[in-house]
């Protein structure tokens, strides 16, 4: 899931053009800066890679993992002698 601080967006479209899954599109609603901020086309098209969050020059995007995905992820990984233990 992505959260967009819509009024922080300056409409550069970097996030839309660089998303590896082409999961973003421009909203049809102008923000306070007079541009169209991005939005997800559909929730399941995003894999939460966080690229859009990292490359947004205005820090307008935050990517959050949904609760289901979070609970399936190991809290940490301990690698001892080539054996991976999920802790």
> Interface residues with ligand SF4 (CB under 6 A)?
2, 4, 9-15, 19, 21, 23-24, 37-38, 46-52, 56, 58, 60-61, 63
> Maximum distance among all alpha carbons in the chain?
56
Specify the residue, 59 or 78, whose C-beta has the smaller distance to ligand SF4: 59
Structure tokens at 66: 């949904």
Least Cβ distance, residue 18 to ligand SF4 (angstroms):
7
Report, in Å, the least distance between residue 84 CB and ligand SF4.
Answer: 25
Q: Which is nearer to ligand SF4, 21 or 78 (CB)?
A: 21
Least separation in angstroms between CB 33 and ligand SF4: 9
Q: Check if the beta carbon of residue 53 is closer than 8 Å to that of residue 63.
A: yes
Beta carbon nearer to ligand SF4, 56 or 68: 56
């Amino acid at each position: 899931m992505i959260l967009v601080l819509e009024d922080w967006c300056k409409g550069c479209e970097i996030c839309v053009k660089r998303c590896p899954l082409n999961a973003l599109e421009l909203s049809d609603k102008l923000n306070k800066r007079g541009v169209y901020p991005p939005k997800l086309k559909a929730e399941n098209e995003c894999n939460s890679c966080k690229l859009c969050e990292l490359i947004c020059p205005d820090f307008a995007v935050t990517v959050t993992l949904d609760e289901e995905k979070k609970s399936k992820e190991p809290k940490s990984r301990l690698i001892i002698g080539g054996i991976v233990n999920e802790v």
